[in-house]
Each structure stands twice: as C-alpha cells, then as structure tokens.
Structure 1
Amino acid sequence: MNTARPSPIQGIRNAMTVDVEDYFHVSAFENHICRGTWDELPCRVERNVDRILQLFADHDTKATFFYLGWVAKRYPELVRRTQAEGHEIASHGWSHIRATEQTPEAFRQDVTRTRALLEDTVGAPVLGYRAASYSIGRDNLWALDTLRETGHRYSSSIYPVHHDLYGMPEAPRFSFRPGQGDLVEIPVTTVEVLGKKLPCGGGGYFRLLPYEISRWAIRQVNQRDRQAAVFYFHPWEIDPDQPRQTGLGLKTRVRHYLNLSRTEGRLKRLLSDFQWGRMDRIFLEQAVNPA
C-alpha cells in the first residue's frame, strides 16, 4: 500500500458530515445512562463543535452538520454559528431514538418536530436527515416515504454493510432514489473488496484502523468508482477528556473510547488529503439512478 501523501482526486469532492450529539446520547450507552438524567449531565457538545468549526475553517472545508433537536433546543446559537460559517444544517432526529424503535406515527412526529425547530433556528429550509445509528433498513423502509412526505429532500440513513446494530448489505453502495418521488438516499461509504462491501465512511472504523487504510479506501471510491465518498464523525470523538462511564462491557468500551486522542490528528490529515463539501451541494445537484 502506498503511504506517500496523495493529491486530492481531480474533480471529486467528498461529503464531510458531523452527527451532532453529546457523549451521553450514543446508542451504546442507552442501557447505562437514563434519558431522564440527560439534563443533569455535564454537556461538552458546544465546546467540541466549536473546535470542529475551527478545524474546518483552518482547512477551508464546508460540511453538513446533522443536529439532534435536543442539542439545537439548548444551544440555538451554536446552530446559528454553524450555519453562519457556511455549513449545511440537517436533522438527526430529536433525541437519538432509533427509527427501528419508533412507530410510523412517532417517527413522523419526531422528524417533523426536529425539522421545524432547526428551520426556525436558522431561518432556512432543512433538506437532509440521518437516522440515529443508521436505523433505516429493509424492515422499515416506510420511514423514507415519511421523510419525503415531511419535506426532506435526502436521507443518509442506510449503511450497506453487515453489523450487529444496523445495516442493509443489499442496499446500493451509492446514492439512489428509493421508490417513487424525489427523495434521495445517500448511504455512508463502503469500499468493495473481493465482492464484499467494507465500511470506510468514518465512525469507530476510522478510530480502530490505521489512517492509511481509510485513505486508501476513499481513494479507491474516488478513483475506481468515480464516486464521492460520505464520511461522518461525532463531536465526542475528538474529546478524550469526556466523562468516563462505568459498568460498560468490553465491546462498548472499545467502540466508544478507542483512540479518541488520535481522532483530531487523523481528521486533519483527512481534510488535507481529499476535497470536501456539503451533502446538499454534492448530491442534490447530480442525477441519481432509481433503485
């Protein structure tokens, strides 16, 4: 594998995204931190997003921030700062409840409430949505119809991989129109190796594996597939000093805490090695094939 620093792929701009939630919102902690205690916990999301905004400014990068309604309600100025710096504001739902755990009516109320709050906060349309823990898949594709009906233009809620918590491996690797209408589903990026889809779009995999593997995989997507990649991370992933939870299983501890101290440095390399932009400007302006 070539470890020399590459030049950005000519003509390919990838999508940089941030799922704006605090450390205690994550699905892995839902059996350890009661939702009723969230208001009592020390929040770190504002300072972490401010660090991310500075990081993006230093690298002349615009991104899409998928905000939880819970965060936006408490930190409206943070949302407005994000928009003022040229980033896209999108929805991550209200309080990080997985779509698989909601009835159709509860899901509709959740996405409608969140979109309305974000639009009132920034005074502009909110077009995008990402489900908590990529929790739209083969068993609840009705959620995509609901998103279309509630005014969303795109979703980034399907991860076409095998995973113990989420995944729809038979889904297309790249953006597609599910069913009728103009809603676009934009999966998180995978790389194809020996006929298998392997994750390379950020999150825990970005922290677990050496940076060179992520860089190689994204270059494969850009060069071989001639497609834009979708990358995501969370504000808590650049915060190694966040409060540590006790009583966690080994898998949960590894998934959440591994290499937090290295994430920001890796992000700086990623921002230098590739060209990045907002979801709406990359995907809503290009034609996609129907599923």
Structure 2
Amino acid sequence: MLMATRPQVIRNAMTIDVEDYFQVSAFAPYIARSDWDARECRVERNIERILALLAAKQCKATFFTLGWIAQRYPQMLRAIVEQGHELASHGWGHERVSDLTPAAFAEDIGRAKKLLEDLGGQAVLGYRAPSFSIGENNLWAFDVLLEQGYRYSSSVYPIRHDHYGMPDSPRFAYPVRQGLLEVPVTTLRVMNKNLPSSGGGYFRLLPYALSRWMIRQVNTQDQQSAVFYFHPWEIDAGQPRIAGIDAKTRFRHYVNIPRTHDRIAQLLSDFAWGRMDEIFLAPSAVEQKARVA
C-alpha cells in the first residue's frame, strides 16, 4: 500500500534591514546626516526584541546591517551571529545607490563588508540597497557588487513606486552576473500587475489576513519562497516623532507601528522561515561558518 507523500513545506526568507528611525530615506530632507550622532539611537533595544522573538519562534533570519550601526554597536552584531542568524550588508551610511558614482558605491559597500566581517567573524555574502535603489539606470551596481565579493543582492523591487522599483524585472531569484544572484523582495502577480506582498509599510497598512494570503499564494501557486523584510524601528511605538515632515511621509512611516510586533510574531508562526543564504545559495556557495582570515 502506497503512503501519501506530504507536500514539501516551502521555507521563506525573513530579513531585517538594520537601521535606525532617523536614517530612513524619506527623512533625509528633514534630518541632516551630520546630526545623526546627536539623535537618540534605539536600534539596539529593538534588535534585542527581534532576537528574542526569533528565538521564541525558533526562526533564523538575515540581518542586512548598516556599517554605521555596526561600528557603534559591535556587541549587537556579535549577538546576531552567535544566535545563528546571517549577517549581510546594507551598505555603510544608507545612501541610495542611485545617488552614488561607481567609485563611491564601491567604497561604501567595501567598507561595510570589511567591518561586518571583522566584527562578525563570518563571510558576508549578501547586500541590500537602501530604498531598493538599484534600477534600470544603475545596473552597473551589480558589477561593483561582484567585484567587492558579494554573492547575492536583494536590491530590486519589481513594482512601480514613486521612490523606487523596476516593475518589468523578474519576480523571483535570477542571476544578474556570473556568480551574482538577485533575489527580489516578494510580489504577487494579479491582473498583469505586481502587487507588493513582502513587508515594510504595505505590511503595516494592509490587513494581516491579506498579507498572509498573498504570501501563501506565492508558496502554493508559484511554488516559490517569499522574501519578507522589516526594520527595527517598525516595532518601536515609542520612537521620537520627527517634526515638520509632510503628511504622506508621516503616514507612511508611522501607520500601525504599535501593531507590527504582534503581526510579525503571527507571521513567524504561520509560515516556515530561514536565512537568505541557506534558501537561495547552493550549499557549496554558503561559507558563512568559515572564519574570515
């Protein structure tokens, strides 16, 4: 008698973009980069909450971390690695790739990679551009990433947005250069249009049941792993309010923040999750446990 085979559970990638509230690109017109050091940093306590949540749910994740943050909180970086999570790069100072020259971009991502590897003691294979700022006009960035030793990027959002997006690019992981993979954050294809279904402000704005349904559709209909992302400040209802910002920016940044922690906890329970490198890179390419010389 033949036994029924259980369908394979698809693991999705849980990712955290490690930056503080005052470093958000939308706040750049209101907060000078030179003022960052004078601002109250809250990222460390928020990462502690995220690590506790991941441990309680027995989930591993990828932390795309700014070099600026890593330099100031080395113990936080080591805690991420010690708890079995992947350490990846978000660049140094949260500058959009679209605002940089190739030389400046190489310096930014090279500097961040070296520091993260020195502090974490592991090879850093992944990179995510601030504000998903790799698009049709700066595809040279992939050449620079490859030259700097990265193995994958998660920097293209295949949607139409007023600040970013490349809606005609592939929805799922694909090689952009020999030796370099692009792993887009997840969208759902509906009526010839890609709908955002992978985190950020959309996750806070939409009803949780809709976000869950969209990820489930990607797993069951597309048979693909989803890539979800959020920021530490998105679980921080007590963060300082930035004065003078316009209404659209205020809404996008603060909508439903008090609910986000519990929504993410539910999401971790509703799906299987893992690290980007372990899901999307071949086992032979994953060298995250090898010590960096």
- Structure-1-length-normalised TM-score: 0.94
After TM superposition, list the pairs within 5 Å mapping 1:143-182 onto structure 2.
143-178=141-176, 180-182=177-179
**Residue 19 (structure 1) aligns with:** 17
Deviation at 1:282, TM superposition (A): 0.1
Which amino acid in 2 is paired with 1:56? L
Counterpart CA distance in 2 for 1:13 and 1:85 is 19
Counterpart CA distance in 1 for 2:278 and 2:183 is 13
Counterpart CA distance in 1 for 2:210 and 2:164 is 22
Counterpart CA distance in 1 for 2:204 and 2:166 is 22
Deviation at 1:182, TM superposition (A): 1.2
**Residue 257 (structure 2) aligns with:** 260
Deviation at 1:286, TM superposition (A): 7.9
**Residue 194 (structure 1) aligns with:** 191
Deviation at 1:285, TM superposition (A): 2.2
Which amino acid in 2 is paired with 1:181? Q
Counterpart CA distance in 2 for 1:10 and 1:265 is 27
Deviation at 1:173, TM superposition (A): 0.1
Which amino acid in 1 is paired with 2:60? K
Deviation at 1:50, TM superposition (A): 0.3
Unaligned runs of 5+ in 2: 1-6, 285-293
Deviation at 1:123, TM superposition (A): 1.3
**Residue 4 (structure 1) aligns with:** none
Counterpart CA distance in 2 for 1:111 and 1:43 is 23
- For the pair 1:285 / 2:279, whether they are aligned, the reply is no
**Residue 266 (structure 2) aligns with:** 269
Partner of residue 64 from structure 2, selected from 53, 63, 66: 66
Counterpart CA distance in 1 for 2:283 and 2:119 is 28
**Residue 5 (structure 1) aligns with:** none
Counterpart CA distance in 2 for 1:269 and 1:195 is 30
After TM superposition, list the pairs within 5 Å mapping 1:33-44 onto structure 2.
33-44=31-42
- Structure-2-length-normalised TM-score: 0.94
Counterpart CA distance in 2 for 1:70 and 1:213 is 35
Deviations 1:45-102 (A, max 9, x none): 0000000000000000000000000000000110000000000000000010000000
Unaligned runs of 5+ in 1: 1-8
Count of aligned pairs: 278
Counterpart CA distance in 2 for 1:54 and 1:11 is 24
Report SS of the residue matched to 1:126: coil
- For the pair 1:239 / 2:232, whether they are aligned, the reply is no
Report SS of the residue matched to 2:84: coil
Deviation at 1:122, TM superposition (A): 1.1
**Residue 29 (structure 2) aligns with:** 31
Task: Show structure 1 runs of 4+ deviating over 6 A.
Answer: none
Counterpart CA distance in 1 for 2:138 and 2:21 is 27
**Structure 1 residues 286 and 184, CA gap change in structure 2 (3 angstroms):** farther
Counterpart CA distance in 2 for 1:123 and 1:81 is 12
Report SS of the residue matched to 2:15: strand
Deviations 1:124-159 (A, max 9, x none): 100000000000011001001110111000000000
Counterpart CA distance in 2 for 1:75 and 1:227 is 35
Counterpart CA distance in 2 for 1:286 and 1:14 is 17
**Residue 288 (structure 2) aligns with:** none
* Identical positions, percent: 60
Deviation at 1:181, TM superposition (A): 1.1
